[in-house]
């Protein structure tokens, strides 16, 4: 299935995202056990719309009304891991609040502590010898591990993400009475259990 050619648009009725895919196609994006647990965790914290990256599947999943409604291929960090400290080239795992960066097609999700550098979701780069566009379209997860930690996507996927960002959610933690409003991006862990990121979203310091 060529996920890179599928897209959806936002409609203004009750903040619902309407996917332009058939029910048959939707049913083919079956959640893994870890994805299902993550969707349930976010729902328990009042977040029904968000994006989720499964590095092992090489897919960015669109979650609308607590269901996977679409998916897009991605390139992610060339090294396996869940934390930048483990290795350079790791796409960090966690729950992040997306940020629009000025004068850029990139969308920030994690700021490197003590710097102005972000891990971002950005259009695929044309780097000689790396065949990144070919990798993106390959739907071969192992071959889609090539970046230094950022997430590479097709240009139209950036537009879809911005559409999702028009539907902010409020993550609520009843135990601590904390809450944060924004658009959320989940990166599933690949070396640790999914429960390791069942926590309050990471907020970037100014």
**What number is the average pLDDT over the span 130-137?**
96
* pTM for this prediction: 0.85
Contact 149, 161 (CB under 8 A): no
Note whether residue 202 is domain-resident. Answer: no
Note whether residue 20 is domain-resident. Answer: yes
Note whether residue 206 is domain-resident. Answer: no
Note whether residue 25 is domain-resident. Answer: yes
Note whether residue 138 is domain-resident. Answer: yes
CA distance readout (Å), 80 to 11, 55, 89, 108, 146: 37, 9, 8, 21, 11
pLDDT digits (tens, 9 = 90+) for 57-115: 999 999 999 999 999 999 999 999 999 776 789 999 999 999 999 878 999 999 988 88
Q: How confident is the model at residue 55 (pLDDT cuts 50, 70, 90)?
A: very high
**What number is the average pLDDT over the span 145-167?**
96
Q: For residue 74, what are the domain limits?
A: 3-197
CA dist., res. 51 & res. 63, Å (int): 6
Note whether residue 11 is domain-resident. Answer: yes
* CATH code, domain carrying 15: 2.40.440.10
**pLDDT reported for residue 16:** 38
Domains held by the chain: number = 1
Note whether residue 39 is domain-resident. Answer: yes
Residue 10 confidence (pLDDT) above 60: no
Q: Whole-angstrom distance between the N-terminal and C-terminal Cα of the chain?
A: 41
Note whether residue 204 is domain-resident. Answer: no
Query: Residue 16: which of 60, 53, 67, 52 has the closest Cα?
Result: 67
> Chain-wide mean pLDDT for the chain?
86
DSSP designation for 146: E
**pLDDT reported for residue 88:** 80
């Amino acid at each position: 299935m060529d996920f890179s050619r599928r897209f959806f648009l936002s409609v203004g009725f009750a903040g619902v995202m309407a996917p332009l895919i058939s029910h048959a196609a939707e049913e083919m994006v079956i959640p893994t056990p870890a994805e299902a647990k993550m969707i349930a965790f976010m729902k328990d914290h009042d977040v029904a719309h968000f994006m989720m990256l499964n590095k092992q599947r090489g897919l960015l999943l669109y979650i609308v009304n607590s269901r996977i409604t679409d998916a897009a291929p991605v390139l992610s960090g060339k090294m396996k891991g869940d934390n930048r400290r483990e290795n350079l080239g790791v796409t960090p795992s966690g729950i992040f609040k997306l940020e629009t960066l000025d004068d850029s097609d990139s969308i920030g999700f994690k700021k490197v502590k003590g710097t102005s550098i972000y891990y971002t979701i950005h259009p695929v780069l044309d780097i000689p010898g790396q065949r990144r566009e070919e990798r993106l379209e390959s739907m071969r997860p192992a071959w889609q591990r090539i970046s230094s930690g950022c997430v590479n996507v097709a240009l139209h996927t950036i537009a879809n993400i911005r559409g999702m960002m028009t539907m902010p959610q409020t993550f609520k933690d009843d135990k601590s009475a904390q809450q944060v409003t924004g658009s959320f991006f989940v990166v599933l862990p690949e070396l640790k259990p999914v429960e390791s990121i069942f926590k309050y979203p990471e907020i970037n310091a100014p």
